[in-house]
Amino acid sequence: MEVTNKYIAIRSHIDGAPRESDFELKTEALSVSNEPGCNDVVVKTIYVSIDPYQINRMKKFSSSQKTSTFAVAITPGQAIDAFGVGRVVASGHPGFEKDDLVAGLISWGEYSIVRGGNMLNKLDSMGFPLSYHVGILGFSGLTAYGGFFHICNPKKGEKVFVSAASGSVGNLVGQYAKLFGCYVVGCAGSQKKVELLKEKLGFDDAFNYKEETDLKSTLKRYFPEGIDIYFDNVGAEMLEAAVANMNIYGRVAVCGVISEYTDTKKRAAPDMVDVVYKRIKIHGFLAGDLMNLYADFFSTTTDYLRTGKIQVIEDISHGLENVPSAFIGLFCGDNVGKKIVKVTDDYN
């Protein structure tokens, strides 16, 4: 069997903010074997996840590339693996059959050959839209859930600050924290996003960081009693300001530092005197390390979804050709909620 595959590749390594010209849409003939024993699974992409961390894989060098199996370097011209949902079109693997719905590591392409079915799972949609399995029920959800409950170790009533709070992970951290009984303030980059946080997602308060000139004072205003937990998605000045406003025994969970990804000069220099005397913990983490929480995360979150306690904020573009702009938009704050591209219109 042979299919014509289209996929997105980078033309060369990207150091700095990504631009349209950094990407190309390529076409290849995929020769597909579905003979038993070949163990390959051919997946037709339905939805793919668009995540900021991919930029670290596109650089010529990033320390992330050496330290995580999720962040190995991407080769120019080659397909870019990414989390997504699709349908099996051919399989030589005993665990998968044609037409199975699957979720896992596929690619920014119409088709993916998943060797040995590696990092691929059969998917029971459980009645939820398939896109949910890319975002809220996928790694974004696990990052938010595990990061908040396991890394931050919250207590009811604690004061929680979330940056990039309308993003894929931040919006869920805020919602989990509210449902748990914390006081939650988020920041985002537009008035529209701020309204979403306060009016739809139930944040106690929110602000537009672009309208603030002194983030330390801003946080002091929003947290007169100090911050107990800071869920950091951005790094740099925001992390410094949060540490300056933390209470003793404060915890900082860092799952990404988007503001530092495209600007190597941008760094967080939190006051270590604060870190010592306030006994602050700053803890970097990746969702891949929290798989032991997956069952708990999944059952809690599907319950919240069924009872309408949690809102799903998705930002879906259509068509493979829009993957680059969707990705570029992440670094300009274009997305509201989980950024996903729907690659085929064959499925709803």
Q: What is the 3-state secondary structure (H, E, C) of 171-233?
A: HHHHHHHHHHCCEEEEEECCHHHHHHHHHHCCCCEEEEHHHCCCHHHHHHHHCCCCEEEEEEC
- Closest to a copy of itself by CB, 109 vs 250, is 250
Q: Tell me the closest approach of the beta carbon of residue 244 to a copy of itself, in angstroms.
A: 7
Q: What is the 3-state secondary structure (H, E, C) of 159-175?
A: EEEECCCCECCHHHHHH
- Closest to a copy of itself by CB, 29 vs 273, is 273
3-state secondary structure of 62: coil
- Closest to a copy of itself by CB, 64 vs 140, is 64
Q: Tell me the closest approach of the beta carbon of residue 155 to a copy of itself, in angstroms.
A: 17
3-state secondary structure of 322: helix
Q: Tell me the closest approach of the beta carbon of residue 331 to a copy of itself, in angstroms.
A: 15
Give dist(CA 206, CA 23) in Å, integer. Answer: 35
In the complex, the residues that contact a copy of itself under the rule CB under 8 A are 56, 62-64, 67-68, 71, 235, 239, 244, 248, 254-257, 260-261, 267-286, 289
Give dist(CA 280, CA 228) in Å, integer. Answer: 9
The 10 Å Cβ neighbour count of residue 299 is: 10
- Closest to a copy of itself by CB, 41 vs 74, is 74
Name the residue among 283, 272, 190 with its Cα closest to residue 232: 283
* 123: Cβ contacts below 8 Å, ≥ 6 apart: 85, 100, 101, 102, 103, 130, 133
- DSSP states of 264-300: TT------HHHHHHTT-EEEE--GGGGGGGHHHHHHH
Give dist(CA 221, CA 325) in Å, integer. Answer: 36
Describe the chain by its helix, strand, coil percentages, rounded to 5.
Answer: 35, 30, 40
- Closest to a copy of itself by CB, 60 vs 200, is 60
Q: Tell me the closest approach of the beta carbon of residue 261 to a copy of itself, in angstroms.
A: 7
